[in-house]
Structure 1
Amino acid sequence: MDNQHKIIVAEITKLLLGGSAHASFHDAIKDLDPKLRGVQPQNMPYSIWQLVDHIRIAQWDMLQFSKDADHKSPKWPDEYWPKESAPAHENDWTGAIKQIDSDMDEFIELLEHSDIYQPLEHGDGQTILREALQIADHNSYHIGEIIAIRRILNDWK
């Protein structure tokens, strides 16, 4: 990997992990009162739990698409959003967060060891770079929504 490629991958990794111009996923959920995970504020279409689980599902889908030509994406939009406003069990919450973290780690590993400009053989022009930017864009949008809901619920620093 040449130096320019290393610099680009390092910058994309920072973008994926957040914390520069945007709050990170972990900043957005840090110290969240568990009773607020399933609260859907007036005029908001979803709860924090639904946003977290949506991030998990969409990020997993983009990772799997990036590495597996046989991957079948969930049905849009029904299978990308949980129907329940709150996690049924604490393990659902912690499991979603662990999967978000492990899938992100796996995607960054893929990013570091791929030709990020090479179109994926099974796609229609997508590249690892495009998927990385899509994950970063998608996650930062929904992380902002988590923070907005926390502000509405008076649970943000």
Structure 2
Amino acid sequence: MDPLVKELKKLLAGGGAHVGLKDAAAKIPFELLGERPHDLPYSIWQLVEHIRIAQWDMLEFSRDAQHKSPKWPEGYWPKEAAPSDEAHWNQTLLQYEADLESFVELIQTSDLYKPIPHGTGQTLLREALQIADHTAYHVAEIVVIRRLLGIWE
């Protein structure tokens, strides 16, 4: 495997220098997903759903010339503070993982440096780094909220 792809896979999964979404979202009591301690603007649920939507958008942009991104910013953030039920929460986590797997497959089978034909100079390398950076930023916020709620180990 290409050493760069190997490192990108690790970066996208989290770990190393920071916790990944899978660990940051584990074992959260359902009733706390919508909490916004100290008047923070987002709940854990909203952050996780935002990460999922943004990653999905970058994945679809990378592989589909017909893809239309959601309207910024409202299309990237859920309006509700909490998921409707535990099934909705679990589906969000599963969809995030499935989309991440699809993106990893894409970077393993494509030229990382070739401009995306329907883009404006973007490459898969840029999209991979953007997904990793964006996810890490918001995962840190999730960890802070968990600490404020007293549910971070």
* TM-score bracket, shorter-length normalisation: over 0.9
C-alpha distance in 2 between matches for 1:140 and 1:89 = 26
Say which SS state the counterpart of residue 46 (structure 1) adopts: coil
**Identical counterparts, % of pairs:** 56
* 1:58 corresponds to: 54
Aligned: 1:98 with 2:62: no
Moved more, 29-38 or 49-58: 29-38
Q: How does the TM-score come out when normalised to structure 1?
A: 0.95
Matched, 1:86 2:86: no
Whole-Å Cα distance in 2 between the matches of residues 58 and 92 of structure 1?
18
SS in 2 for 1:101: helix
Question: 1:43 offset after TM fit, Å?
Answer: 3.0
What's the TM-score, normalizing by structure 2?
0.98
| Partner of residue 143, structure 1 | 139
State the aligned residue count.
153
Runs of 4+ in 1 over 3 A off after TM superposition: none
Could you tell me how far apart the structure 1 residues matched to 2:93 and 2:27 are?
14
The amino acid of 2:42's aligned partner reads Y
How far apart, CA to CA, are the structure 2 residues paired with 1:79 and 1:124?
22
Matched, 1:71 2:32: no
Letter in 2 for 1:156: W
Unaligned 5+ runs, structure 1 = none
Query: Shift of residue 130 of structure 1?
Result: 0.2
Matched, 1:37 2:3: no
Displacement, 1:48? 0.2
Per-residue deviation, 1:27: 1.1
Structure-1 separation of matches of 2:26 and 2:114 = 37
RMSD: 0.8
Shift of 1:15: 0.2
Runs (5+) with no aligned partner, structure 2: none
